[in-house]
């Protein structure tokens, strides 16, 4: 028998055996991996690595705690007008950022959160659903369409794992009306706050201690102040009597202390211990509360005692506050009508975006807050706490005695006489943070007494009570026979944000502002800065030469008995020389601009080369190298 035929007889069964083993292995892999993939997609979460500089896609511990402790199933609906934003790339990019953060929370929730994304096209049921859930549409979409970009959340009863959950009526529904890209730094906080509030079964209780008529007078048909009515919609507002107060209950989430005047020692001690136990306190004091109608006080013989202070507690906390000083600010003076004429009142301040802390969640989205005859806070020399300003004056402010403001009541313009700015930003409202010592060390023997707080204790201080009154931020209007409130300042939002922020859990309070996903072109900006410096230098040179030329022309003006023709010719030569130099400097300015553009274009070309050519070439090269090594290895085995 020929050798070739003999070789085929012995090798063919071996090849068939190898092929069968290969096919069997492939079938086995399919049978093993398909169920594994299905199971992992159902019960396992994909491992993800956050490689961003500021860990934008990593949830903070506070958010993780809120998500992990959800007690009721939540249903979230993200409304985004996909079609209406096709020409708005910045908003579309931000929507991706919001969606990815929501998906991260859903993946962490172990089935407690379900997310649905809806495009509410015009005149659809989805659009009506978005409006019904409290979302606000923005104008400016493609073809004039309205843009919806918000989140509606519903707390459901039972378990989301059961069937037919979408047909149930939600127990509670809340919404983020619109995701403003300007508020991206607080995106995680806003979503976590929504989850936390949905998880609460009842309104959080807050306490109010006030010597002002903030609750109105039902006997005189006086309604509560609007700010208190707004708080009542979100919280269980409880009035505390300072004359009988011995202890502030721990279930009080936030305590509002408004215009404290001659508080009994027991009430002060109750507030002291409430703060040291971790309670959240907001103190409103005022050197001149204009809605205080109390008569002359025992310590005041020149004017009614309309000021308030908390001296014992402030001293223990390291706070410096003078109840007899008012902050004037001619740069932020509020325009008022007095005796039929319009004037700017330097003791009534219109605080704008520059005077609000844009890095704090409470004031980040506010635009305007009005205050009147406000005081200011500072830290004592031995303070162990720190102030984080929320509201402050401009550098044009001046501090004057309260009596001077009262004397100028009929003519506020007299406050501008001999006005001397202090060139300081006075703190009108702030967060006070740190470790607080008890103001009552002599009561150390009392059961349950605390000598100091935790290291992360916090109190909110506001040096004005008038901002709470309706006249500074809201006015009634009659519309179709109904009284509606027209809001012209954010005072109510400021107070609501304060209470809302403090009433959350410690996990919610620990969530601070994050960096934004918008990454600036720092290299390009550096090039522009260098070019701006060059432009500025050239402009200064041109202005100096212009001044020198004008001075030279003045010197060449013909005098009596002089030679007019000679002077005129010399002037012409100077003018011509200046024009030539001006043209040369203009050319240098253009050269600087061309150089800047050339450097930016070169940088762009380098980036394009790296992204389009170099990186793909390296990937292909690595692939070819890997293939060559495998081929070489296979040949060596044969």
Question: What is the pLDDT confidence band of residue 131, given thresholds at 50, 70 and 90?
Answer: very high
Residue with tokens 């040369």: 584
* The predicted structure's pLDDT at residue 47: 54
* The predicted structure's pLDDT at residue 289: 94
Point out which residues pair with 231 in neighbouring strands.
Answer: none
State yes or no: pLDDT of 9 exceeds 50.
Answer: no
Q: How far lies 102's CA from each of 56, 173, 619, in Å?
A: 13, 17, 33
Pairing of strands 236-239, 369-372: unpaired
Question: What is the pLDDT confidence band of residue 558, given thresholds at 50, 70 and 90?
Answer: low
Helices and strands counted in the chain (H then E): 14, 20
State yes or no: pLDDT of 436 exceeds 80.
Answer: yes
Q: What is the mean pLDDT of the chain?
A: 82
What string of DSSP letters covers 323-377?
TTEEEEEGGGEEEEEETTEEEEEEEEEEE-GGGB-TTSTTTTT---EEEES---E
Q: In terms of DSSP H, where are the helices of 44-124?
A: 61-68, 89-108
Closest CA to 329 of 232, 239, 400, 249: 400
User: Tokens representing 597?
Assistant: 């553009």
Average pLDDT over residues 43-53: 54
* The predicted structure's pLDDT at residue 404: 94
Distance CA 93, CA 518 (A): 9
For the segment 335-352, what is each residue's pLDDT rounded down to a tens digit? Answer: 998 877 889 999 999 999
* The predicted structure's pLDDT at residue 630: 76
State yes or no: pLDDT of 607 exceeds 90.
Answer: no
For the segment 608-635, what is each residue's pLDDT rounded down to a tens digit? Answer: 677 777 777 788 788 788 777 777 777 7
Helix (H) or strand (E) holding 41: helix 3-43
* The predicted structure's pLDDT at residue 164: 46
State yes or no: pLDDT of 480 exceeds 70.
Answer: no
Question: What is the pLDDT confidence band of residue 294, given thresholds at 50, 70 and 90?
Answer: confident
* The predicted structure's pLDDT at residue 586: 65
State yes or no: pLDDT of 43 exceeds 60.
Answer: no
* The predicted structure's pLDDT at residue 621: 81
Distance CA 504, CA 633 (A): 64
Q: In terms of DSSP H, where are the helices of 109-254?
A: 125-132, 187-198, 226-234
Question: What is the pLDDT confidence band of residue 569, given thresholds at 50, 70 and 90?
Answer: confident
Pairing of strands 457-462, 280-284: parallel
Q: How far lies 311's CA from each of 232, 323, 438, 630, in Å?
A: 30, 9, 13, 81
Contacts of 201 (CB under 8 A, 6+ apart): 72
Q: How far lies 293's CA from each of 235, 284, 304, in Å?
A: 28, 17, 9
Average pLDDT over residues 572-600: 68
Closest CA to 429 of 405, 475, 465: 465
For the segment 54-69, what is each residue's pLDDT rounded down to a tens digit? Answer: 555 678 888 898 899 8
Tell me if 348 sits within 8 A of 334, measured CB to CB. Answer: yes
Contacts of 260 (CB under 8 A, 6+ apart): 209, 211, 242, 283, 285, 308, 309, 310
Q: Reduced to 3 DSSP states, what percent helix, strand and coil does the chain have, rounded to the nearest 5?
A: 45, 20, 35
Helix (H) or strand (E) holding 26: helix 3-43
User: Tokens representing 285?
Assistant: 């004091």
* The predicted structure's pLDDT at residue 425: 96
Tell me if 258 sits within 8 A of 210, measured CB to CB. Answer: yes
- Residue 451 CA from chain centroid, whole number: 34
pTM (2 d.p.): 0.68
For the segment 168-194, what is each residue's pLDDT rounded down to a tens digit? Answer: 678 889 999 999 888 888 888 899 989
State yes or no: pLDDT of 495 exceeds 80.
Answer: yes
What sign results for the dihedral spanned by CA atoms 547, 552, 557, 560?
positive
Cα angle 428, 431, 436; round to 5 = 120
Distance CA 510, CA 531 (A): 42
* 3-state SS, residue 388: strand
State yes or no: pLDDT of 381 exceeds 80.
Answer: yes
Distance CA 627, CA 269 (A): 79
With pLDDT > 90 as the criterion, what percentage of the chain qualifies? 48
What sign results for the dihedral spanned by CA atoms 506, 364, 207, 194?
negative
* Of 410-419, 456-465, 543-552, minimum mean pLDDT range: 543-552
Average pLDDT over residues 582-597: 66
For the segment 216-258, what is each residue's pLDDT rounded down to a tens digit? Answer: 877 777 889 999 999 998 899 999 999 999 999 999 999 999 9
Question: What is the pLDDT confidence band of residue 434, given thresholds at 50, 70 and 90?
Answer: very high
What sign results for the dihedral spanned by CA atoms 169, 172, 177, 179?
negative
* The predicted structure's pLDDT at residue 303: 56
Question: What is the pLDDT confidence band of residue 593, given thresholds at 50, 70 and 90?
Answer: low
Ramachandran class of 204: left when φ > 0, alpha when ψ lies in -120 to 50, beta otherwise:
beta
* The predicted structure's pLDDT at residue 221: 74
Closest CA to 259 of 302, 225, 221, 219: 225
Q: Is 158 exposed, middle or buried (0-12, 13-18, 19+ CB in 10 A)?
A: exposed
State yes or no: pLDDT of 509 exceeds 80.
Answer: no
Tell me if 376 sits within 8 A of 402, measured CB to CB. Answer: no
Q: In terms of DSSP H, where are the helices of 510-561?
A: 522-555
* The predicted structure's pLDDT at residue 479: 60
Q: In terms of DSSP H, where are the helices of 354-490?
A: 402-407
DSSP letter at 395 equals T
Distance CA 278, CA 73 (A): 29
* 3-state SS, residue 68: helix
State yes or no: pLDDT of 466 exceeds 60.
Answer: yes
For the segment 69-107, what is each residue's pLDDT rounded down to a tens digit? Answer: 898 899 999 999 998 998 888 899 999 999 999 999 999
State yes or no: pLDDT of 541 exceeds 50.
Answer: yes
């Amino acid at each position: 028998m020929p050798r070739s035929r003999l070789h085929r007889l012995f090798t063919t069964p071996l090849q068939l055996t190898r092929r069968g083993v290969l096919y069997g292995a492939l079938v086995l892999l399919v049978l093993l991996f398909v169920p594994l993939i299905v199971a992992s997609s159902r019960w396992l979460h994909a491992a993800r690595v956050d490689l961003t500089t500021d860990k934008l896609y990593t949830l903070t511990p506070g958010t993780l705690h809120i998500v992990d402790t959800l007690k009721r199933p939540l249903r979230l609906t993200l409304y985004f007008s996909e079609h209406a934003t096709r020409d708005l790339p910045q908003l579309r990019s931000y929507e991706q950022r919001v969606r990815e953060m929501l998906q991260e929370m859903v993946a962490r929730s172990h089935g407690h959160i379900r997310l649905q994304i809806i495009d509410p096209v015009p005149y659809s049921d989805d659009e009506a659903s978005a409006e019904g859930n409290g979302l606000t549409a923005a104008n400016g979409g493609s073809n004039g369409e309205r843009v919806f970009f918000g989140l509606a959340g519903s707390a459901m009863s039972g378990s989301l794992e059961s069937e037919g959950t979408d047909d149930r009526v939600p127990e509670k529904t809340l919404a983020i009306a619109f995701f403003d890209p300007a508020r991206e730094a607080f995106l995680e906080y806003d979503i976590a706050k929504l989850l936390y509030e949905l998880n609460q079964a009842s309104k959080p209780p807050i306490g109010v201690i006030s010597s002002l008529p903030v609750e109105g007078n039902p006997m005189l048909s006086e309604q509560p102040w609007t700010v208190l009515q707004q708080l009542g919609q979100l919280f269980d507002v409880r009035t505390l009597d300072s004359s009988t107060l011995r202890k502030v209950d721990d279930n009080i989430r936030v305590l509002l202390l408004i215009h404290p005047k001659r508080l009994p020692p027991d009430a002060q001690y109750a507030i002291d211990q409430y703060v040291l136990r971790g309670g959240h306190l907001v103190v409103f004091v005022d050197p001149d509360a204009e809605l205080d109608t109390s008569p002359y006080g025992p310590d005041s013989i020149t004017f009614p005692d309309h000021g308030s202070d908390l001296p014992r507690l402030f001293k223990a906390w390291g706070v410096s506050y003078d109840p007899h000083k008012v902050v004037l600010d001619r740069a932020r003076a509020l325009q008022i009508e007095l005796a039929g004429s319009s004037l700017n009142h330097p003791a009534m301040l219109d605080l704008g975006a520059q005077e609000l802390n844009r890095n704090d969640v409470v004031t980040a989205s506010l635009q305007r807050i009005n205050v009147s005859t406000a005081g200011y806070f500072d830290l004592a020399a031995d303070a162990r706490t720190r102030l984080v300003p929320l509201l402050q004056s401009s550098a044009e402010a001046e501090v004057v005695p309260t009596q001077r403001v009262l004397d100028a009541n009929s003519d506020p313009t007299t406050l501008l006489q001999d006005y001397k700015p202090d060139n300081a930003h006075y703190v009108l409202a702030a967060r006070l943070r740190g470790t607080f010592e008890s103001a009552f060390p002599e009561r150390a023997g009392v059961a349950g007494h605390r000598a100091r707080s935790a290291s992360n204790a916090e109190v909110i201080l506001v040096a004005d009570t008038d901002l709470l009154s309706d006249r500074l931020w809201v006015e009634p209007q009659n519309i179709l026979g109904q009284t509606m409130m027209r809001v012209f300042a954010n005072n109510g939002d400021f107070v609501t944000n304060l209470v809302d922020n403090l009433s959350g859990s410690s996990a919610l309070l620990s969530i601070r502002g994050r960096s934004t996903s918008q990454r600036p072109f720092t290299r390009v900006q550096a090039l522009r800065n260098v070019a701006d410096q060059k432009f500025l230098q050239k402009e200064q040179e041109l202005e100096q030469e212009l001044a020198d030329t004008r001075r030279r022309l003045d010197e060449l003006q013909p005098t009596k008995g002089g030679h007019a023709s000679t002077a005129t010719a010399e002037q012409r030569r100077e003018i011509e020389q200046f024009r030539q130099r001006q043209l040369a400097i203009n050319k240098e300015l253009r050269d600087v601009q061309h150089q800047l553009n050339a450097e930016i274009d070169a940088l762009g070309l380098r980036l394009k080369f790296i992204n389009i050519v170099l990186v793909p070439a390296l990937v292909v090269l690595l692939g070819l190298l890997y293939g060559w090594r495998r081929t070489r290895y296979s040949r060596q085995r044969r």
